[in-house]
Structure 1
Amino acid sequence: MSIDLSNLRQKFRERDYKLTPQRQIVLQVFIDNQDKHLSAEDVHNIVRQQSNDIGLATVYRTLELLSELDVLQKMDFGDGRSRYEINETSTPHHHHHLICLACGKVIEFEDDLMDELENVIAKNSNFTIVDHQVKFYGYCQECRKKRED
C-alpha cells in the first residue's frame, strides 16, 4: 500500500496535529518494512540504526497517534507487546496471521475463509459485522525442524 502524504497531512490538520519530521521518519519505517509487524522497540532500533535521534517515548507516542488516525493498525499477538502495520483500508477485511509460539514470527495469509461463517453469525444474531481478525498460534517451519532435531 502506498501512503498518500497529502491525505495524511489533511488527517493530521483535521485533528490539530502536525506531521513533524519525527513522525515522518517513523512512518517511513513502516513504508520500508511493509511485510513486518513492528513493535515500538523494533521501530526505535531501526530509527537508531539510521542514526536519527528519536527517543523511545517519541516512537510510542507517534505509534499511538498513527493508530488513532487509522494510518497504522495496532495488533496484539499475545506476546506482551503491541505491534503495528500499515492499515490497508482498501480491503474489506484484514489479512490474518499465523504466529509462531517459539520464535514469535508472524506470517500473514490472505485466504478469507470466514465470509460464510460471518454471514451465518450476522444473520443468526441480527448483528452487522464490519470486520474480523483471525490469529492461529503454532510453530513455524524453522522452529518445527529445531524441535524435531
Structure 2
Amino acid sequence: MMSEQIHIIKRKMFDQGYKLTPQRAAIIRVLLDHSDIPISAEDIFMVFKGKLHKMGLATVYRTLELFCEMNIIHKVNVEAGMARYTMSNIQNDSYSHEQLICTACGRKKKVKVDWVKPLEKRIESELGFTITDYQLDIMGLFTTCSGKGCIKKKVSTPSRLSVPSL
C-alpha cells in the first residue's frame, strides 16, 4: 500500500513539473509510517540525522512546504508555535478535510460533518467565492486524555530508514 501511495505522489509531482527525489521520497515514507499522528519537521529531521548526509533541516522544511502547496500533506498546529504535518487523502482528490486533533497526545480522528456543505454553498452565493480546498482542524481533548488516562504518544523513529529507489 505504501508503494502505491508513493506512486500516486510521484505521478502528482510529475504532472506539476516536479521530481520525487530520494530525499522527498524518504520524507514521504516517514510521514506515511507515522500517519496516525501529526509529525514535526524536527522529528522528521531527527530520523535522518547522521543517515543521509545531504538531508538538512532546511531541506525538510522546503520539502514539507512544497508538499503542502501540492496538497500532498497538511500543516496542523497541535501545540502553540509548533507546526506538524499529516498526510492528505491522496487517493481521493476531494478537498474536504475535517479532523479532531488532541492537544495532549496529538492523536487525530477524521470526521465527516454534514454542516460544511451548506456553509460552502452560502459562501459561494453570498460572497462570490468558490472554495477549492479547506481543512477544518478542531483542537481539543479526547475524554481519555482529559484525565489521567492519557498516555502521550511520542513519535517513534525507525532504527533503520533507507532511501527508496524510485
Report the TM-score, using the length of structure 2 for normalisation.
Answer: 0.66
Determine the structure 1 residue equivalent to 2:64: 63
Whole-angstrom distance in 2 between the partners of 1:133 and 1:65: 17
> How far apart are 1:145 and its partner, in Å?
1.8
Deviations 1:53-98 (A, max 9, x none): 3332332222223333433233344621222222325242332222
1:136 corresponds to:
138
Q: Which residue of structure 1 aligns with residue 159 of structure 2? A: none
Match of 1:92 in 2: 94
Structure with the higher fraction of residues in helix conformation: 1
Aligned to 2:74, the other structure's residue is in SS state strand
> How far is the alpha carbon of 1:43 from its aligned partner?
1.3
How many corresponding residue pairs? 141
Aligned-pair distance for 1:106? 3.9
Residues 10/137 of structure 1: CA separation in 2 closer, same or farther (3 Å cut): closer
Partners of 2:36 and 2:45 in 1: how far apart? 17
CA distance in 1, matches of 2:13, 2:133: 26
- TM-superposed CA distance for 1:116, in Å, is 1.9
* CA RMSD after TM alignment: 2.9
Per-residue CA deviations over 1:8-48 (Å, capped at 9, x if unaligned) read 56257x25xx5332222112112222233211012123334
Percent identical:
32
- Does the 8 A contact of 1:66 with 1:72 survive in 2? yes
**Structure 1 unaligned blocks of 5 or more:** none
The residue type equivalent to 1:127 in the other structure is: F
Question: Which structure 2 segments of 5+ residues have no match?
Answer: 150-166
Q: TM-score, normalised by structure 1?
A: 0.72
Shift >3 Å, 4+ stretches = 75-78
Secondary structure in 2 matching 1:45 = helix
